Amino acid sequence: MNLLALLDVHSGLPFENNIIVNTNSFDEFQDRLNQRVALESRYFDSMDSSRGESFKVTAQRVNTTRISACYHSASFHVTSPPLETYHVIIPINGVVTSNHHHREVVAGQSLFFTPNDTVDVVWGRDSMALVLTVEMESFLSYVKQQYSVIGEITEPSLSGVVDLSQGGGSLVNILATISRESQVPSSSLNRSNVSRHLEHLLFEGLIFSHQGMKKMIDLDDRIKPACVKRAIDYIVDNIHRDISLADLVKETHVSKRTLEKGFSSSCQTSPMAYIRRLKLSRIRQELMGSSPEKTTVSAIAENYGFYHASNFTARYYQLFAENPSETLKK
């Protein structure tokens, strides 16, 4: 995965119009990083003082999420106290080593940290990476609203190395869109509604690049009645089919009224509306991971049972506030 090409960066770093740190001093680098970039404290230890040092950090804020681009010519060790945010390191060049996971992370992979994790990584020589800092409250609020999750979310262990070739294409494409937009004079990133919308796309990219997050959302069994759990399992397994309420009643062995009451109390929606929303969300994810040269909106929509373009477009716009053709072009 050639991230430099996708990010449309031919030299230097993404977000060069907002340089936060640019120094040859390791001491100045760590001081300024903690003052201006890191939302939480970091502790640094130089491992490469025998050679010339160069440190550069640029940044772009997308609503509440901060994206930093970092280049370091020298190797150093960085640790942190327990995090209050989600933290994602995506190497572009070079190697970042996770001491917790005993893994080297390279381009095409990412390193996830979740709240309460501690950072313990070594940045290798001439390493370049994107670092995402996502506020926990913003992310979980979005998940609850978008996926009708009721109550507190108790996450599975989500920290670790993630292969971006397995579902991470959308995340990289969204980051590339933000990188290109940041280079435009009078960028729309400065508009609050655009920034908020792009942050939501980032959240979706994070969710669908990580199997643990997808499981947390798609198969959230902790707060639903047994009949609703069985119905959702059936819906997920048959998402490309035309599923009727009668199918769900037959599968769950409860009455129509009981099933509708269960969905209303635990998901705040009806069974058929749940199906429609999940289908539309899956279509959106496929659109974000594709391009107009490879597929069409109608081909993806028809795969989920939407055969009437005008009706599908209206429902899609109602949920996501943009036309599906716009999503495909991003």
Q: What is the pLDDT of residues 74-93, one digit of tens each?
A: 999 999 999 989 999 999 99
**pLDDT confidence of 292, banded at 50, 70, 90?**
confident
Confidence of residue 5 (pLDDT cuts 50, 70, 90): low
What pLDDT is recorded for position 170?
A: 80
List Cα–Cα distances, 234 to 60, 87, 144, 231, 242, in angstroms.
41, 34, 21, 5, 12
Q: Which of 103-112, 152-161, 234-243, 273-282 has the lowest mean pLDDT?
A: 152-161
What confidence tier does 288 reach under pLDDT thresholds 50, 70, 90? Answer: confident
Report helix angle 192-209 to 136-147, nearest 10.
80
pLDDT band for 219, please (50, 70, 90 cuts): very low
Residue bearing the bigger pLDDT, 12 or 44: 44
Count CA within 13 A, CB hemisphere, residue 281: 21
**Domain boundaries for CATH 2.60.120.10 within the chain:** 3-216
Nearest CA to 287 out of 170, 166, 164 is that of 170
Q: What fold characterizes domain 3-216?
A: Jelly Rolls (2.60.120)
Report whether 100 contacts 146 (CB < 8 A).
Answer: no
Superfamily of structural domain 224-329: Homeodomain-like (1.10.10.60)
- Distance (Å, rounded) from C-alpha 330 to C-alpha 301? 17
Q: Which residues, in sequence order, are CB contacts of 308 under 8 Å at separation 6+? A: none
Per-residue pLDDT at 214? 65
pLDDT in tens, 89-139: 999 999 999 999 899 999 989 999 988 899 999 999 999 999 999 998 888
Q: How many CA atoms lie within 13 A of 296 on its CB side?
A: 4
Domain boundaries for CATH 1.10.10.60 within the chain: 224-329
The predicted structure's pLDDT at residue 141: 80
**What was the pLDDT predicted at 244?**
95
Among 152-156, 175-179, 230-234, the range scoring the smallest mean pLDDT is 152-156
Could you give the CA distance from residue 211 to residue 216 in angstroms, rounded to a whole number? 9
pLDDT surpasses 90 at 177: no
Q: Please state, as a whole number, how many other Cβ atoms lie within 10 Å of the Cβ of residue 285.
A: 19
For residues 247 and 263, give the distance between their C-alpha atoms in angstroms, rounded to a whole number: 15
Read off the pLDDT of each residue in 143-159 and give the average, rounded to a whole number. Answer: 61
Supply the pLDDT for residue 267: 79
Strands, DSSP E only, in 75-186?
76-79, 85-93, 96-98, 103-105, 109-113, 120-123, 127-135, 160-163
Q: Give the pLDDT of residue 112.
A: 93
